[in-house]
Amino acid sequence: MTNSPVQVPEQHFVNGNSLSGPFDDHLQQAVFAMGCFWGAERRFWETEGVHSTAVGYTGGAVAHANYQQVCSGDTGHAEVVLVTFDPSHVSYRELLSVFWENHDPTQGMRQGNDIGTQYRSAIFTLTDEQATIARDSLQSYQAKLLSAGLPAITTEVTPLDEFSFAEEYHQQYLAKNPGGYCGLGGTGVSCG
């Protein structure tokens, strides 16, 4: 089954920057899955040095999956945030701290009451350097969680295959719907 890519707004609802590019050469990108993408995206757009964010789907078996397909659990996709950032203001390692501290990476295919493959914890890397940094970060945070009496991390670290933008109404959802649902919560364990 092949779907057509969705059309997304040209501008980020919060900061007015481009949602899909093209981006200046000095900017880099990262992709994170930490449960429902609404709250995850807000955590990143609030981070100093982040130029733009967009939500979408990756890690599944259907090209250009849509929300209904992803929610069925049949495609294997994760809800993700594509983060475009300026590495002179925020490092990839610092973005990983935002990732680890703002969700529970020990829950497998869920975050709180959100259950299914789309809510799993994952880091989708774009370069070998990101993969190395992400794995080192995982080992470091795992030690901190174990010291705090928490279980093992279930987060997958894998190369990004294909990113598909989510539908327009999901983009910057919590800015458009300030009272909207956000089930995101961390473990209380700091990366620092």
Active site residues: 36
* Helix or strand holding residue 32 (H, E): strand 28-34
How far, rounded to the nearest angstrom, does the alpha carbon of residue 150 sit from its chain's CA centroid?
22
For residues 112 and 121, what is the distance between their CA atoms, to the nearest angstrom? 12
Cα distances (Å, whole numbers) of residue 125 to 82, 84, 152, 175, 178: 11, 13, 21, 27, 30
Q: Is residue 144 within 8 Å of 138, Cβ to Cβ?
A: no
- Using alpha carbons, select from 133, 128, 120 the residue that is nearest to residue 32: 120
Answer for the pair 13, 180: CB distance below 8 angstroms, yes or no: no
Q: What is the DSSP track for 77-130? A: -EEEEEEEE-TTTS-HHHHHHHHHHTS-TTSSSEETTEESGGG-EEEEESSHHH
Q: Which residues pair with 164 in a beta bridge?
A: 57
